[in-house]
Amino acid sequence: MPELPEVEVCKRGIEPHVLYQNVTDVIVRNANMRWPITPTISDICGEKIMSVNRRAKYLLLETSKGVLMLHLGMSGTIRVIDKDTPVTKHDHFDLVLENGLALRLNDPRRFGSVLWVTEDINEHRLIKKLGPEPLSPDFVDDCLYKKSRNKTVPIKTFLMNNHIVVGVGIIYANESLFKAGIDPTKQAGKISKKRYLELTKHIKQTLAHAIEQGGTTLKDFTQSDGKPGYFAQELLVYGRGGQPCFTCETNLKEIKQAGRATVFCSQCQKN
């Protein structure tokens, strides 16, 4: 599943091609996504895209009338293509632009979404209760520590709660906890402020580096131009259960937490 760095890379990839372009057409081939494509989606036609932003894993294309909110779901990709490019299987939606290009959403599992929002985007039900962006000034050093007090859930589960902080998905939670030397099964409320400050630093560094490297290459993810990301080559623990730790050579453990894989080193992550 694309995580925050992959979506940020996608945002940066499409922005030069769509910014200040007028929308000439929308093509809906299958409206049955995670949520049905908004029936009034054609209202964006004739509008100019004034900004391209990201909030959590949502891509936000803003116009004077409203915001086109896109989500890649589990397996979605957005490509910048010539508008006459032949359609392939699972090409569910095209946003056609005056420059002859189109944004095409391909989503085999249809867990993504295409929503046309005319209300204040910050008040939308999918946006309103989200936590701070991990690379923004709102994610201050003691943010996690303050939110964790009296929390009994494991720290990895805590990190992946979008109401706490957005975008720290399964890959980057595993990696950041390893770098901070924190046991992913430890209760969030029992971790010291000092450890949280260290964890916050590693979350920021790991996500920023992943964005620089073009996102993590997973089987379902490619950038907007079709090129894969490269960060997967540098993963220290995720996807390496049973293999030797790069630091101490102890075999990494893999367990399930809330149905998701957690990989960690029992020697390096004792805090």
Q: Which are the catalytic amino acids?
A: 2-3, 57, 260
> What is the number of residues in the chain?
271
Q: What are phi and psi of 68, to 5 degrees?
A: -85, 115
Cα angle at 180 between 179 and 184, to 5 degrees? 95
Q: Are 105 and 115 in contact (CB under 8 A)?
A: no
> 24: which DSSP letter?
E
Query: How far from 147 is each of 40, 131, 198, 216, 244, CA to CA, in Å?
Result: 39, 11, 16, 28, 34
Which H or E run includes 114? strand 113-117
